[in-house]
Amino acid sequence: MGKHLDTVTGLVLVGFSGVVYFIVKDFPTGTAKEGMGARLLPLLLTILLAILSISLLIQGLIRRRTGSGEAEVSLPLLGAHLKIPAVLVVLLVLYLLALDPLGFLIATPVFLIVVMRVLGSDWRSSALLGVSFTAFIYLIFSLLFQVPLPTGSLLE
Partner 1 sequence: MFGEIDFLSFYMAGIARTFQPDVLFFLVLGTLIGVIFGVIPGLSATIGIAILTPFTYKMSTEASLALLLGVYCGSTFGGSISAILVNIPGTISAIMTVLDGYPMARKGEAGRAIGLATVASFIGGLLSIFALAFLAPLIAVWALKFSAEEYFAITVFGISVIAYVSTGTMLKGLISAIIGLLLAMVGVDPTTAYPRFTFESTYLLGGLPLIPLMVGVFGFAEVLRMAERDPSAHRLVTSISRIVPSLREIVGLFGTLVRGSAIGIFIGAVPAAGGSIAAIISYGVEKRISSHPETFGQGEPRGIAAPESANNATTGGALIPMLTLGIPGDLVTALLIGALIIHGLFPGPLLFKDHPEVISSVIISLFLSNWVFLAFGLLGARYFAKLITLPRNVLLTMILCISVVGTYSIDNSITDVWVYLCGGLLGFILTKVEIPVSPLVIGFILGPMVESYFRQALILSYGNPLGFFTRPIAAVFLLLTVLLMVAPYLAEKLFRSRLKPLTSGD
d(CA 8, CA 15): 11
Is residue 88 involved in binding partner 1 (CB under 8 A)? yes
* Alpha-helical runs (H) found in 25-143: 40-62, 83-102, 104-118, 123-137
The answer to whether residues 147 and 124 touch, using CB atoms and an 8 Å cutoff, is no
Q: Which is nearer to partner 1, 99 or 106 (CB)?
A: 99
Residues 58-87 close enough to bind partner 1 by CB under 8 A: 59, 63-64, 68-71, 74-75, 77, 81-82, 84-85
CB of 106 to partner 1, least distance (A): 15
Query: For partner 1, which residue of 4, 11, 21, 52 counts as binding (CB under 8 A)?
Result: 52
CB of 61 to partner 1, least distance (A): 13
Displacement of CA 106 from its chain's centroid (Å): 25
Is residue 101 involved in binding partner 1 (CB under 8 A)? no
Q: Which is nearer to partner 1, 68 or 155 (CB)?
A: 68
Residue type, 109: P
The answer to whether residues 138 and 107 touch, using CB atoms and an 8 Å cutoff, is no
Tell me, by CB under 8 A, how many residues bind partner 1.
Answer: 67
The answer to whether residues 125 and 116 touch, using CB atoms and an 8 Å cutoff, is yes
By residue count, the chain amounts to 156
The answer to whether residues 142 and 90 touch, using CB atoms and an 8 Å cutoff, is no
Binding site for partner 1 (CB under 8 A): 5, 8-9, 13, 20, 23, 27-28, 30-38, 40-42, 45-46, 48-49, 52-53, 55-56, 59, 63-64, 68-71, 74-75, 77, 81-82, 84-85, 88-89, 92-93, 95-96, 99-100, 108, 112, 115-116, 119-121, 125, 129, 133, 137, 141, 145, 147-150
